[in-house]
Structure 1
Amino acid sequence: MERTLPTREAADLLELTRDLAVKEIAPRAAGDEEAGAFPRDLFTLLGGAGLLGLPYAAEYGGGEQPYEVYLQVVEELASSWLAVGLGLSVHTLSCFPLAGHGTEAQRAAWLPDMLGGDLLGAYCLSEADSGSDAAALTTRAQAGPEGYRIDGAKSWITHGGAADFYTLFARTGAPDSGGRGISCLHVPAGTEGVSADAPEAKMGMRSSPTAAVRFDGARVPEEARIGAEGEGFAIALAALDSGRLGIAACAVGVAQAALDLAAGYARRRRQFGRPIGDFQGLSFMLADMATQVEAARELYLAAARRRDAGRAFGRQAAMAKLFASDAAMRVTTDAVQVLGGYGYTVDFPAERLMREAKVLQIVEGTNQIQRMVIGRHLAKEHE
C-alpha cells in the first residue's frame, strides 16, 4: 500500500522494518503461534535495529521519531505477526511514564537498556476486579523508611512472566482515595516477592504471554516511584491515550494482512472458468474490506498527527482504536469467507488473523469503554 512519510529517514526506517518483517518475523509466526513460543529474541533484534524506542529521545537511545512514523512501523510488524507488533506497542506503553515523567537520573539509569532491547517491559494497571474501572485498583504500595512495600496482583498482563520490568500502578493513598491515591512505580522483574502465574490459555496471540503478576511483600526504593505520589492515575490515562493508537495500528496491520491474503486468493482461485474475484459478490466484499482498512489507517494517522503537533488527541485516539479494531474483526471474518473451506483450516493464516483480531477489541480499554470516552469528550465539548 502507498505510504505518506514525512522524511527520507522515516522511509528508510519503514523499509528496514519491512525487510526484518519479511526475513525474520513472518517465517516464524505460524510455527511459534502453534507452539506458544514467545519470540524474546526478536525484541532484542528490534532493539538492535533501533526500532524499540522510536518515539523517545535520542539522548537515551531512542529514535526521536514522530508518532506518525512510529505507528506505521507498528502496523508493518503487526501485519507480519501480531505478537511482535503488539509487543512493541506494549513495550512503548511501559516506557511512557519514565520517558515523560521520570527524573533525569531515572531516565539516564533505565531508559537506554529499555530502548536498546536489553530490557522488555510490561504495563501493570488492570486487576481481576478493576479492569475497566482502573481507578478502583487495590494493589497497595505502602511507603516506609526504606521505600515501598508492594502487595497485590495484576491481571491480564501482556509479557507477564517474560518481562524484565513492570511499570506498576498501585495505591499509595487511602483505600477510598480513587484515582487521586494511585502512584506509578518501576519494578524490576527480579525483585524478591514478584512472580507470575502460568500464562493464560487464549483464543489467539498464543506466542504473547498474558499472565497475572503477583506482588507479595515486594520492596522497591523510593527512587523507583515515577512522578509525584498520587499522580500515577493521570500518568496511566495519558499513557493509554498513546497506547490506543498503537492498538489501532496493530488492528490495521492485521486487517491489511487479511485483505492481502483474500485478494491474492481471489485472483488465483478459479471457478466456472474465471478467477472468483471477478464475481460481483466477492469483488464487492473485497472493495468493502479495502475501504475499511484505508479508513482505519487514515483515522489513526490523523490522531497521531494531532499528537505530534501537541494538540489534544484523546477523543481521536479512542475513535481510532474503536474503528480500527472493529474493522479488523470484520475484515478478517470476511477473509475467512473469501477463502471458503480453506479459510477455516490452519493451512492458511486467515483463521489465525481472525482469532487475533478479536483481542484488539478488548485490550487497553474495551470498545464499549472507547464509546464512553468519546461520548464524554463530546459532552464536554458541547457544555
Structure 2
Amino acid sequence: LAGPRLWDRLLARRGRAHWDSYEALAADHLEALQSMATLRAAGAVGRTRARLERRSAALHRATVAKMRVSLADTGLTDLAVQGGTVAAVLVACAAATTGGATATGTYLLLMLASECFRPVRDLSREWHAGHLGLSAVDGIAALRHTEGGVPDEGTVAADWATPPEVRFENVHFTHPGRARPALAGIAFTAPAGRVTALVGPSGAGKSTLLSLLLRQRDPDSGRITVGGLDTAAYRLDALRRGIAVVSQDTYLFRATVADNLRLARPAATSAQLHEAARAAGIHEELSRLPDGYDTVIGERGATLSGGQRQRLALARALLADAPVLVLDEATSAVDERAEARITRELLAAGRGRTCLLVAHRLEA
C-alpha cells in the first residue's frame, strides 16, 4: 500500500500535463472546424494543420509520459500482489508436504490466496482511473468557487407599469487589467417612452454602457437608475427580463425559427410571432423557408445569412415586449434600404418603450 503512494505526486504532475495538452488540442480542433471557411479564404489551412500536428504530438508525448509512470506503478503493485500470492502458495505446499496442514486447509489456502489480494488490485485500478478526474479537478474547483460578476442582493421586481426612465449619473468604469478608463463621468438621461441614440466610434464605450445597464458589471463609481431606482436594487433576473437586447453578435440555437423566437416569450402565439417578424422586416423571408416558421435553422443559424440572423434576433427582442429595448448596432448586417425600412418599423414598434439605440454613425 505504501509503494504506490510514492508515485502519486509524479503521476499527478504528468496527469495535469496530459490534461492540458488534451484540452489545447480539443480547443484548436473545434476552432478549426468552426472557422474552416475563414481559414480557406485567408490561406491559413496549412499553418492551422501544422499547429494541430504540433498539438497532437504534444498530447502523444504527454500521454506516453503519463503511461510510463502509470505502468511502472502498476508493475510494482502487481509484483507485490503476485509475490504475496506465490508466497502463500509456497507456504501451503510446504505445509502439505510436511503434513502440517490438512488437505482441506491446503485447498482453502490455495483458493483464498488470490482473493486476499483482490481488494488491493481493485483499489489500484480505481485509483489509476481516478487520476483522469484528478487531472481536471483544479479547473473544476476554480470554476465552482468563482464568484459571480455582480452580487444578486436586490429585492425589487422590475414590474414597470409604464416605460421607465433610464439615468446614468457620473458613471466611471475601468475594465479589469486596463489602466485607461472606458467611461469617465458619463451622465445622461434616456426619457421614458422615448428613443435615445448613443452615437460614437468603435471603442468609445457604448457597449460598456449597455453592459453596466444590464449589470453584467457594476460601475466603479456613480450610479445607474431605471425607473428611479438603482439597478442594484432590482433582482438580477427581473432587471434583465425587463430589458430586451439586440447586439451585433447574435446567437441562434439549433432549433426551429418559432422555437428561437419563443425563447423570449414561450407562450407567444403564431400571430404574435408573425407580428414581431414583420416589425423586424423578415416575415416574408421566413415564410419562404421550406417549412416556414417550423424550419430548423442549424447551429448559430448556419442556414441563414448574416442579415437574416440579425433581423431574427431583433424580432425575438420585440416579441419579448420588454419596457426597455436596447439596440446595439442591430441593423449593421443589412443594406441601407433595409436598414431604413427596419428603422421606421422599429420606431413604430418601439412606441410605449424606452429605447436605447447604439450606432457608429448618426445616419443609422
TM category (shorter chain) comes to under 0.3
TM-score when scaled to structure 1? Answer: 0.22
Larger Rg: 2
